[in-house]
């Protein structure tokens, strides 16, 4: 069966998500004014795309960016032997939209020119003539009932986005717009802001009242922090569903999000930052159990990677750093410069499991073979006992403790300097990593033991001194599994007061039970030997954080301009007292290559240093560092998050503390 339509009725992103969710196979011809193209979907996965002279993922991004004038013709059940696309559908859509936002999409030109495709594409005039008013209905006929219920077992069934109507159309006597049932105004992200804006979000409210899609209706660079908080809040809202003729319907509606002032502190608040391995499920479970016993103590947890935990300890925004790797020498040195003594506690142990698609015939790999596969020295599975297919390594970002531990334990175990393959795909969250491997038969990744019980994947044995060993609690506890690590908690000095009380609970029998329940191995250490019970009654250790001034940059910008003059003057005034040194750290977002990150972050730091020296600051009091994209303030997955991470952090350290 075939159908025709146009992107103004059915955007390509919606079409391919429906095809993916329903595991369909088809060929889609596409025509726009400047070029023709084709896209093949096999069991819900895009396997080949060509748009004019563009191939593979670049062609898919160009399709997503195509104007509403584009037309398509879909032929159900048509396959191809070509494979030029390996990324998952969600990854393609997210990256395509990011590139559109930042103007990085290649433009197609000309018709398809390969011999295999020549003559196969219908004439543009035929597509124009064949557009049917009922295209969306026809999609349902070709691909079946449109539902995303098979995407995740934990989510309620939702209706495809193109089936939603605009709330302004609900004008009948039996119609009703969505009504908010649950959801509070979020706390404003900046306490010192003189503005409390309303952020209008464009949201999709499903028939069960849940929000399954949200974006900022009109973005503003100066409100990026507010926009990020608004989106995070509105995605948790629950509505009374909209009605049309008395029946629940999915609708899109513009929903304004207002902000509340930060609540007055009626008790004690602890902040934990760091490892996603600890903070993904274990951390929230420990926090919930502790708060149930101690309603006067609230604990906030943020899990963006181990490195961010140490950044929080040093700038005073975290009381406890959660890390899935030991503290680095340079972090110890930075603590010394700031006059901080780090205390380390072992929360438990984790095994790094090697995970592949369930249909991969390989059952065990040695450390050498893992090194070859992840570094790109071996690019075909046939070299390690598998099929003749190309290996697709998948990894966490560089600021993840799991990434650093695996790199040091496997890629650089002999003191070498091997890097991850240039073909490595980087995903931010453990659940995203495992989901990707579950849908790509050629992928391989590494994750903590808590993430292996997911459908569609299998865990490999790793060959150690005792032969092939699977990652289990016993093999991790006795050290026979070669890739294991401690899970660590760090504090500034000896923990006292509420912080000591929280850590005593975490290391108690109840805390250890939660550690085991979440797939890790408890430390089984004597809690009284680690934290003196008398310290629970003492006041929490006070810490005056160094002054941190943040200088923000635009996309690709590396030079200081007039827009940040206020921050530069503030730093200059403090430095002229001669009582401070300054550590200038440049940062980038996750756009571009690693080389781009390093170069851009160093240039930003250097430009701030030059601006200070030009205003009379002694250059011997300035140290600079390029942190690349390793220490994000917020997630790089959103446009607003990337804006927040394009910055230079200037830490003003009292000279009597600096060493």
DSSP string, 56-92: HHHHHHHHHH--TT-EEEEEET---S-----S-HHHH
Higher pLDDT, 421 or 108: 421
CATH of domain 268-348+488-537: 3.40.190.10
Separation CA 368–CA 463 (nearest Å): 9
What is the topology classification, in CATH, of domain 164-257? TolA/TonB C-terminal domain (3.30.2420)
Element spanning 516, H or E? helix 509-517
User: According to the model, what pLDDT value does residue 485 have?
Assistant: 84
Q: Rounded to 5 degrees, what are φ and ψ at 125? A: -65, -35
pLDDT digits (tens, 9 = 90+) for 349-369: 988 999 999 999 999 999 999
Task: Judge: domain 547-654, CATH 3.90.226.10.
Answer: no
User: According to the model, what pLDDT value does residue 586 have?
Assistant: 94
Portions of the chain given CATH number 3.30.2420.10: 164-257
455 pairs with which residues across the strands? none
Portions of the chain given CATH number 3.30.1330.60: 547-654
Using an 8 Å Cβ cutoff, are 650 and 551 in contact?
yes
Sign of CA dihedral 84, 88, 90, 94: negative
pLDDT digits (tens, 9 = 90+) for 107-161: 776 555 433 333 344 444 344 334 333 343 344 434 443 333 333 333 344 555 5
pLDDT digits (tens, 9 = 90+) for 384-404: 999 989 999 999 888 787 888
What are the distances in angstroms from CA 567 to CA 195, 525, 571, 575, 649?
Answer: 19, 47, 6, 12, 11
SS3 560: coil
pLDDT digits (tens, 9 = 90+) for 151-194: 333 334 455 555 788 888 888 888 888 888 877 778 777 655 56
Confidence of residue 414 (pLDDT cuts 50, 70, 90): low
Q: Class of 350-484 per CATH? A: alpha beta
Using an 8 Å Cβ cutoff, are 633 and 189 in contact?
no
Higher pLDDT, 295 or 511: 511
Confidence of residue 345 (pLDDT cuts 50, 70, 90): very high
SS3 448: strand
Separation CA 237–CA 233 (nearest Å): 7
115-146 b/e (C-beta count within 10 Å ≥ 16 → b): eebeeebbeeeebeebeeeebbebbeebbeeb
Using an 8 Å Cβ cutoff, are 391 and 381 in contact?
yes
Separation CA 482–CA 409 (nearest Å): 9
pLDDT digits (tens, 9 = 90+) for 444-463: 999 988 788 788 999 999 99
Using an 8 Å Cβ cutoff, are 362 and 356 in contact?
yes
CA triplet 167, 170, 175: central angle to 5 degrees?
125
Higher pLDDT, 204 or 115: 204
CA triplet 134, 25, 389: central angle to 5 degrees?
155
Using an 8 Å Cβ cutoff, are 469 and 351 in contact?
no
* Residue 585: pLDDT over 70: yes
User: According to the model, what pLDDT value does residue 461 have?
Assistant: 95
Contacts for 424 with CB less than 8 Å, ≥ 6 apart: 374, 393, 394, 395
User: According to the model, what pLDDT value does residue 502 have?
Assistant: 94
Separation CA 324–CA 313 (nearest Å): 16
Separation CA 51–CA 36 (nearest Å): 6
Portions of the chain given CATH number 3.40.190.10: 268-348+488-537, 350-484
Higher pLDDT, 120 or 466: 466
Helices in 165-271 by DSSP H: which ranges? 224-234
SS3 512: helix
What are the distances in angstroms from CA 188 to CA 229, 331, 469?
Answer: 8, 31, 50
Sign of CA dihedral 298, 302, 306, 311: negative
3-state SS of 521-550 is: EECCCCHHHHCCHHHHHCCCCCCCCCEEEE
């Amino acid at each position: 069966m075939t159908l025709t339509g146009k992107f103004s009725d059915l955007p390509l992103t919606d079409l391919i998500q429906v095809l993916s969710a329903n595991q369909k196979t088809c060929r889609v011809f596409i025509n726009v004014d400047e070029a023709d193209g084709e896209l093949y979907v096999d069991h819900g996965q895009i396997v080949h795309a060509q748009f004019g002279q563009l191939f593979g993922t670049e062609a898919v991004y160009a399709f997503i960016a195509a104007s509403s004038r584009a037309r398509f013709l879909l032929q159900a059940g048509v396959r191809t032997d070509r494979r030029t696309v390996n990324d998952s559908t969600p990854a393609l859509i997210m990256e395509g939209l990011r590139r559109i936002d930042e103007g990085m999409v290649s433009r197609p030109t000309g018709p398809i020119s390969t011999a295999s495709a020549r003559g196969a594409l219908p004439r543009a005039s035929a597509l124009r003539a064949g557009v049917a008013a009922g295209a969306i209905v026809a999609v349902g006929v070709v691909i079946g009932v449109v539902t995303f219920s098979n995407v995740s077992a934990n989510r309620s069934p939702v209706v495809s986005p193109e089936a939603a109507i605009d709330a302004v159309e609900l004008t009948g006597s039996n119609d009703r717009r969505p009504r908010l049932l649950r959801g509070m105004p979020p706390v404003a992200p900046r306490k010192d802001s003189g503005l409390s804006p309303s952020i209008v979000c464009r949201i999709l409210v499903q028939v069960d009242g849940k929000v399954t899609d949200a974006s900022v209706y009109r973005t503003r660079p100066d409100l990026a922090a507010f926009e990020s908080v608004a989106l995070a809040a509105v995605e948790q809202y629950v509505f009374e569903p909209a009605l049309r003729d008395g029946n629940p319907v999915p609708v899109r509606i513009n929903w304004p999000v207002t902000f509340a002032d930060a609540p007055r502190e009626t008790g004690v608040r602890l902040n934990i930052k760091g490892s996603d391995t600890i903070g993904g499920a274990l951390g929230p479970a420990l926090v919930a159990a502790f708060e149930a016993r101690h309603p006067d103590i609230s604990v906030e947890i943020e899990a963006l990677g181990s490195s961010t935990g140490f950044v929080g300890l040093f700038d005073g925004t975290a009381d406890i750093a959660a890390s899935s790797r030991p503290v680095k020498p340079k972090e110890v040195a930075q603590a010394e410069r700031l006059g901080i003594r780090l205390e380390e506690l072992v929360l438990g142990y984790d095994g790094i499991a090697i995970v592949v698609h369930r249909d991969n015939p390989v059952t065990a790999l040695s450390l050498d073979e893992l090194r070859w596969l992840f570094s790109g020295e071996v690019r075909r599975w046939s070299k390690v006992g598998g099929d003749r297919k190309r290996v697709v390594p998948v990894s966490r970002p560089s600021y993840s403790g799991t990434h650093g531990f695996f790199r040091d334990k496997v890629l650089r175990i002999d003191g070498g300097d091997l890097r991850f393959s240039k073909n490595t795909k980087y995903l931010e969250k453990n659940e995203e990593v495992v989901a990707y491997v579950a849908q790509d038969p050629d992928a391989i990744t590494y994750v903590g033991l808590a993430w292996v019980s997911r459908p569609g994947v299998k865990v490999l044995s790793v060959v150690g001194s005792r032969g092939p060993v699977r990652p289990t609690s016993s093999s991790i506890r006795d050290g026979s599994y070669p890739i294991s690590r401690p899970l660590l908690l760090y504090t500034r000095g000896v923990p006292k007061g509420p912080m000591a009380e929280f850590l005593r609970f975490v290391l108690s029998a109840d805390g250890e039970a939660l550690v085991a329940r979440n797939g890790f191995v408890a430390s089984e250490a004597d809690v009284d030997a680690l934290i003196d019970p008398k310290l629970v009654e003492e006041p929490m250790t006070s810490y005056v954080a160094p002054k941190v001034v943040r200088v923000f940059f635009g996309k690709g910008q590396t030079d200081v301009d007039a827009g940040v003059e206020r921050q530069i003057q503030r730093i200059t005034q403090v430095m002229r007292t001669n009582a401070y040194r300054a550590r200038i750290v440049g940062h980038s977002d996750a756009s571009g290559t690693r080389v781009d990150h390093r170069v851009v972050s160093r240039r930003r730091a250097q430009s701030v240093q030059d601006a200070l020296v030009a205003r009379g600051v002694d250059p011997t009091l300035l140290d600079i560092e390029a942190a690349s994209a390793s220490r994000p303030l917020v997630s790089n997955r959103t446009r607003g998050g990337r804006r927040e991470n394009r910055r230079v952090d200037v830490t003003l350290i009292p000279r009597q503390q600096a060493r």
